[in-house]
C-alpha cells in the first residue's frame, strides 16, 4: 500500500477493509468468508453456505444489499433473491447470475459476496450490534458505545433508513443469554482489536464503527467496519452520557458529528420545512421585479466563474 493510502482517515471500500482485517490471526474466526463477485465465486459460495449476501464494496445505509438463498425442492434447485421488499425466484443459477450481473453492471461498482449469517432475532426482527470504538483524549482506544439494531420484519438489513429500530444492548443480551455476562466483554474485545488492526494499516484512523452479527450459537461475526460511522443511533438512547462522550472524543481529534436524524423511527425520511425569505416569502425573482438594471445586477447571485468570458463580451449596459 502506498503512502497516500496509509494517510487516509476514512476508507470506504469494504473489500480493502476486509483485506486489512484478515492479516490479524486473532480476528479470522470472526470474519465471515468474503470474496469478489463473479460467476464462479458466487456459485461456489452458494454451494458452500446456501445463503449469501451480495453488496457493493462502496456504499452506506444498507443500499444495494441483496440476500440470495439456494434451496432444493423436489430435487430441483431454487434460487431466491431479495433486495428491500422485492423478492424473485429463479430455477437456474445462470438465470440468477445474468439478472444479478446486469444490476451490478449498471452501478459500475465492485461487488462482494459474503457468507450469510443466521442472525439471532428479537421480537421477530433480525438483530445485529453496532460497536463504537474511538481514540480517547490520551490517544488510547476505547469502546464508547454498544447498541443493538433490529431490522424491519420483512427486510434483510437493520439500518434505520430501511425501517430498523434501536434496542439497548443489555435488553438483547438478557433475552438471548441471561446467564452469560461475558458476551458484551467479548464484543468490546473484538471492537478494540479491530480498531487497532485497522490503525496499523491506516495510522490516521481515529474511530471505527463495527457491525457485528450473532449467529444461533451466539458466535460474533464482523459484518462491516465503518471508518466514518454515523452516531445518530446513540442519540436515541436514554443514557445521554454515551453520546456526550462520543461527541467529546470526536471533537478532540477533529470529527464533528451530524446529530439530527434523517429518518424517523419507522424509517421514513424526515422532510424539513422550507425556510421563508426575509421579504415575506418572496423569492429573489419577485424581489428584483421592476427595479433598475444596475440594482438587479448587484442584488443577483454572483455570475458563475466559468461564464466570465461571456460577461466580458456582453457587459451590462449603462
| pLDDT, tens digit, 9 for 90 and up, residues 225-267 | 999 998 988 998 889 999 999 999 999 999 988 887 666 555 5
* pLDDT surpasses 60 at 84: yes
Pick the more confident residue, 46 or 256.
Answer: 46
Distance separating alpha carbons of residues 151 and 157, to the nearest angstrom: 6
Distance separating alpha carbons of residues 69 and 79, to the nearest angstrom: 6
- HSE of 234 in the Cβ direction (CA atoms, 13 Å)? 23
126-182 residue pLDDT tens? 899 999 999 999 999 999 999 999 988 777 777 776 677 888 999 999 999 887 778
User: What is the second-level CATH architecture of the domain 3-31+118-252?
Assistant: 2-Layer Sandwich (3.30)
Give me the pLDDT at residue 284, please: 44
* pLDDT surpasses 60 at 18: yes
Please report where in the chains the cell 452501478 appears, as a residue.
Answer: 107
Q: Round the average pLDDT of the chain to a whole number and report it.
A: 84
185-202 residue pLDDT tens? 999 999 999 999 999 999
Which residue in 133, 136, 137 sits closest to 145, CA to CA? 133
Decide: 229 and 209 in contact? Cβ < 8 Å.
Answer: yes
Distance of CA 177 to the CA centre of its chain: 28
259-318 residue pLDDT tens? 876 665 555 556 666 555 555 554 444 444 455 555 555 555 555 555 555 555 555 555
Q: Hey, what's the torsion of the CAs at 128, 129, 130, 136, to 10 degrees?
A: -170
Distance separating alpha carbons of residues 158 and 148, to the nearest angstrom: 9
Domain ranges of the chain: 3-31+118-252, 34-115, 284-313
State the Cα angle at 52 between 44 and 128, rounded to 5°.
150
Amino acid at each position: 500500500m502506498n503512502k497516500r493510502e496509509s494517510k487516509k482517515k476514512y476508507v470506504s471500500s469494504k473489500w480493502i477493509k476486509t483485506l486489512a482485517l484478515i492479516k490479524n490471526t486473532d480476528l479470522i474466526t470472526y470474519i465471515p468468508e468474503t470474496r469478489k463477485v463473479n460467476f464462479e465465486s458466487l456459485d461456489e459460495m452458494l454451494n458452500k453456505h446456501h445463503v449469501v449476501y451480495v453488496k457493493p464494496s462502496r456504499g452506506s445505509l444498507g443500499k444495494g444489499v441483496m440476500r440470495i438463498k439456494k434451496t432444493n425442492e423436489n430435487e430441483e434447485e431454487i434460487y431466491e433473491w431479495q433486495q428491500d421488499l422485492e423478492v424473485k425466484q429463479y430455477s437456474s443459477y445462470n438465470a440468477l447470475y445474468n439478472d444479478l450481473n446486469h444490476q451490478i453492471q449498471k452501478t459500475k461498482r465492485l461487488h462482494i459476496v459474503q457468507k450469510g449469517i443466521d442472525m439471532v432475532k428479537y421480537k421477530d426482527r433480525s438483530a445485529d450490534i453496532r460497536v463504537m470504538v474511538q481514540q480517547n483524549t490520551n490517544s488510547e482506544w476505547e469502546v464508547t458505545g454498544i447498541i443493538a439494531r433490529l431490522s424491519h420484519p420483512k427486510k434483510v438489513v437493520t439500518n434505520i433508513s430501511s425501517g430498523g429500530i434501536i434496542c439497548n444492548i443489555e435488553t438483547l443480551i438478557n433475552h438471548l443469554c441471561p446467564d452469560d455476562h461475558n458476551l458484551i466483554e467479548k464484543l468490546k474485545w473484538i471492537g478494540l482489536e479491530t480498531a487497532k488492526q485497522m490503525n496499523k494499516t491506516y495510522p490516521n484512523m481515529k474511530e471505527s464503527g463495527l457491525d457485528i452479527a450473532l449467529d444461533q450459537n451466539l458466535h460474533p461475526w464482523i459484518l462491516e467496519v465503518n471508518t466514518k460511522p454515523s452516531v445518530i443511533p446513540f442519540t436515541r438512547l436514554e443514557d445521554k452520557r454515551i453520546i456526550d462522550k462520543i461527541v467529546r472524543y470526536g471533537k478532540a481529534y477533529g470529527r464533528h458529528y451530524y446529530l439530527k436524524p434523517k429518518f424517523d423511527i419507522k424509517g421514513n425520511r424526515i422532510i424539513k420545512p422550507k425556510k421563508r425569505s426575509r421579504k415575506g416569502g418572496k423569492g429573489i425573482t419577485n424581489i428584483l421585479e421592476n427595479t433598475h438594471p444596475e440594482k438587479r445586477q448587484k442584488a443577483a447571485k454572483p455570475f458563475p466563474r466559468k461564464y466570465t468570458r461571456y460577461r466580458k463580451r456582453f457587459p451590462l449596459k449603462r
